[in-house]
Amino acid sequence: MVRIKVCGLKRDVDISYVNELKVDYAGFVFAKSRRQVSLEEAKKLVDKLDSGIKRVGVFVNERAYEIQKAVEVLSLDIVQLHGEEDLGEYLGLDVDIWKAVRVSCKEDVERARLYKCPGVLFDAFVEGMYGGTGKVFDFGLIEKEELNSKVILAGGLNCNNVSLAIERVKPYAVDVSSGVETEGVKDFDKMKEFVKRVREYGKNII
């Protein structure tokens, strides 16, 4: 079964949506973004999160000790790094690491082979932005790649393209944010349809 991560959760109602749909991962963004939450805000949200949903903290070039604080306060399961971090500084954290790779060419995918961490997240490259752009990249660049890490696919996924993305990439998980939003906030109907399509199409992939 292809796992599902919904990222950029900010409101109590967002938590109720993912709890009802029983997604696999809930993502909280701590980097500068319109979806950014503070540690205090995130604590209130994770306290309402279903215990069966894993907690992912998303950071960009944050210091390791600040991330460790978030890991402890929020009981994070995953730390997702979206900047130019030196992984060696973070692998000592008592949590799994997913390293994001922004893809614009084959060389970006090859770089992912150098990362020694449990997961690699592939996202679209947009100049000056670290993620959450809603842009799609060429899935063909990673279509036949075999990595030592779990592949998490992001970048402009939505109800209309996620089945094709799963077919081509066969990822461990898919990551969605803007693709299940309307006017910048999470939309339950879009989220429900996205989850339905992933589960229908992705149940025999992994």
Determine the average pLDDT of the residues in 132-149.
69
Give just the sign of the alpha carbon dihedral 22, 16, 43, 56. positive
- 88 with 121: CB under 8 angstroms? no
Residues 6+ apart with CB under 8 A from 175: 5, 7, 25, 27, 121, 152, 153, 154, 157
| Token pair recorded at residue 103 | 């893809």
pTM across the whole model: 0.91
Position 128 confidence tier, pLDDT thresholds 50, 70, 90: very low
| Token pair recorded at residue 106 | 């084959």
Strands in 10-161 per DSSP E = 25-29, 54-59, 78-81, 96-103, 119-124, 150-153
Determine the average pLDDT of the residues in 122-134.
59
Residue 93: the pLDDT is 87
| Token pair recorded at residue 35 | 């979806």
The tens digit of pLDDT for each residue in 47-75 reads 999 999 999 999 999 999 999 999 999 99
Residue 125: the pLDDT is 53
Give the chain's domains with CATH numbers. 3-202 (3.20.20.70)
Please state whether beta strands 173-176 and 181-182 pair in parallel, antiparallel, or not at all (unpaired).
Answer: unpaired
Residues with a known catalytic role? 7, 123
The helix/strand/coil state of 93 is coil
Rg (CA), the chain: 16
